[in-house]
Amino acid sequence: MTATTDGSTGAVGPRAAAASEPTDTTTAAAGDLLVAARRATARSVEHLLGRQDAQGWWKGDLETNVTMDAEDLLLRQFLGVLDPRTTEAAGLFIRGEQRADGTWATFYGGPGELSATIEAYVALRLAGDSPDDPHMKRAATWVREQGGIAAARVFTRIWLALFGWWKWDDLPELPPELIFFPKWFPLNIYDFGCWARQTIVPLTIVSAKRPVRPAPFALDELHTDADAPNPVKPLAPVASWDGMFQRLDKVLHAYHKVAPRRVRRIAMNAAARWIIERQENDGAWGGIQPPAVYSVIALHLLGYDLDHPIMRAGLESLDRFAVWREDGARMIEACQSPVWDTCLATIALADAGLSPDHPALVKAADWMIAEEISRPGDWAVRRPELAPGGWAFEFHNDNYPDIDDTAEVILALRRVRHPVPARLDAAVERGARWTLGMQSRNGAWAAFDADNTSPFPNRMPFCDFGEVIDPPSADVTAHVVEMLAYEGMAQHPDTRRGIEWLLAEQEASGAWFGRWGVNYVYGTGSVVPALTAAGLPVTHPAIRRAVRWLESVQNDDGGWGEDLRSYREEKWIGHGASTASQTAWALLALLAAGGRESRSVERGVAWLAETQREDGSWDEPYFTGTGFPWDFSINYHLYRQVFPLTALGRYVNGEPLASGAISRKGS
């Protein structure tokens, strides 16, 4: 059972109470499924309410891969602050993630990954593991078989160069003079996505300084040829983009040797000012770990000592990315997702039937309203006349509110009957206005910036670590369209442009690509509810194609799953072990398409009810979130709770009201 509006226990909420008897009496099985769904919903609500912080927010762990933990140790070794407790705890976690073949993967069940394996190996050497230990021998052998350190990504080799394990001359050049490029010039810093921009600016300082700290040990065992660890790679044809950028890199290496000292000093100081201006109130940069790590290194190289307030705040912020486990292991989160988790949890609880004025929802709304961003950030470079508004993903990230969070926060706030409705309405209206203003020229929406679609950044030899631009995506655009529909703006010209873009982006299979979630199941589960909320009939050909595709990829057990390898291998599209979050995404689409009584929906709901744990939660070791498709994968630990509850709630209670009717001005 779960708490009702007055704090007592009983049915999930008013809509659940009104549906206390099965509406479909054609078969006993349908009635039994509805009973099971209600029971699962009530248990899930109770579980989720129990996880709310006293301040009103929810946050699940954000699990990525061991490179976060390895680089944290390497940073502390570089700065001379590595302590035994941290080293032991990190080593315990990294060892526990090693696969039987000696490698480390970047997602659960995935293949061994070279760069992750190299970084994990080096971190374990720092933790005291011997290269003669069996688990280390297996790792080193595999690394050599894959081409050794020379075949690793640029970021991995940068970390090794910091200790002399790789030569700076054999890394792509990244000059700090990049900071001088005007906003209209190709490859200016605002041509990069915000996550890449925040990382690249400090790395220009590191690239210029080329520091080398004494290595605590050799790494000859990771080279394919210890005498010639840095082989020369052939250049691509000069007429190709890759060939052009490779030759440009050679020019930049030559420039590094003759760069005027005064110009370089001015450039590094300008980059440092850019970094310092973007440090958040909690000491981090952009709310994510990598920019914080490289910013700390860059500023330290420019003479900021570790006791400087900027540096102290930065190092303290990195400590807050650590999750200490009961077994003493320490996992580093790449980011923290309280705003995202809180809005999704609010939607889930409301759609499960919790009263709109339930104290938990009101507390969550208060916290979200207080998190609204009221000042310009880097997004204003492309939209200088747009008034600020919106929400970020993290506790502190005022420079980079994101469109996806803003859309979902608005959808969450509209589900709450707030005691001061004018305060909620004002925040929503500012957020909706800002979101409309962030529409790209093609009619769609990206995550952080408008029209961040330059073809050049991804071509740079330096940028081999994943997506470095922020083009519009179907999932973000769908969430915006859904939000605008709930705000009564389904017929707004900008909303219609977004819908047209979505319809044009549908794959021949009937699915939509998922940029920020895995993958076509996520994209399709986002788009179909948005299109129906915006008024497309469930008989629309695009909706029916999507339904047929989802039904065709349903697993035999009744659930849905899609492996991360679907980003690279067509055979994995729509296929993978069933997960709670992906099953919920498919159900959200099918329910929105009017398929409540379909066999596919019944099987999916039954799978969720049957796989729920006694405490109301679900288990999900698989990674269903993405930072960069394939290159950087995420297991959001709250996805397995909020999305199944949303799907079950909509199955039990029906679809939420569209056209802004959920909680409009004083309702």
Give the residue numbers marked as catalytic.
Answer: 404
Q: Name the H helices within 302-420.
A: 309-319, 338-351, 359-370, 403-413
CB 594 within 8 A of CB 586: no
CB 605 within 8 A of CB 651: yes
Nearest to 139 by CA among 156, 116, 161, 166: 116
CB 469 within 8 A of CB 193: yes
- Write the CB contacts of 268 (distance below 8 Å, at least 6 apart in sequence): 176, 204, 205, 208, 302
Cα dihedral sign for 61, 63, 66, 71?
A: negative
Q: What share of the chain is helix, strand, coil (3-state, %, to 5)?
A: 50, 5, 45
Q: b/e map of 102-131 (b: 16 or more CB within 10 Å)? A: bbbbbbbebebbbbbbbbbbbbbbbbebeb
425-432 long-range contacts, CB within 8 A, separation 24+: 425/665, 427/369, 427/372, 427/389, 428/487, 430/372, 430/387, 430/388, 430/389, 430/390, 431/372, 431/389, 431/390, 431/391, 431/406, 432/389, 432/483, 432/484, 432/487, 432/489
Nearest to 373 by CA among 404, 406, 413: 406
Q: How far apart are CA 91 and CA 84, in angstroms?
A: 10
338-351 and 639-653 helices, crossing angle to 10°: 20
Q: Record the tokens describing residue 373, joined without a space.
A: 């961003």
3-state secondary structure of 2: strand
Q: Torsions phi, psi of 324, nearest 5?
A: -90, 125
- Cα distances (Å, whole numbers) of residue 206 to 67, 145, 302, 318: 19, 30, 9, 19
Neighbours of 431 (CB within 10 A): 26
Q: Torsions phi, psi of 21, nearest 5?
A: -110, 145
Q: How far apart are CA 597 and CA 612, in angstroms?
A: 22
- Write the CB contacts of 277 (distance below 8 Å, at least 6 apart in sequence): none
Q: How far apart are CA 483 and CA 486, in angstroms?
A: 5
CB 377 within 8 A of CB 397: no
Residue type, 656: P
R_g of the chain computed on alpha carbons: 25
Q: Record the tokens describing residue 338, joined without a space.
A: 């309280």
With tokens 């303290």, the residue in question is 316
CB 51 within 8 A of CB 270: no
SS3 string of 262-304? Answer: HHHHHHHHHHHHHHHHCECCCCCECCEHHHHHHHHHHHHHCCC
Residue type, 3: A
Q: Record the tokens describing residue 59, joined without a space.
A: 């946050």
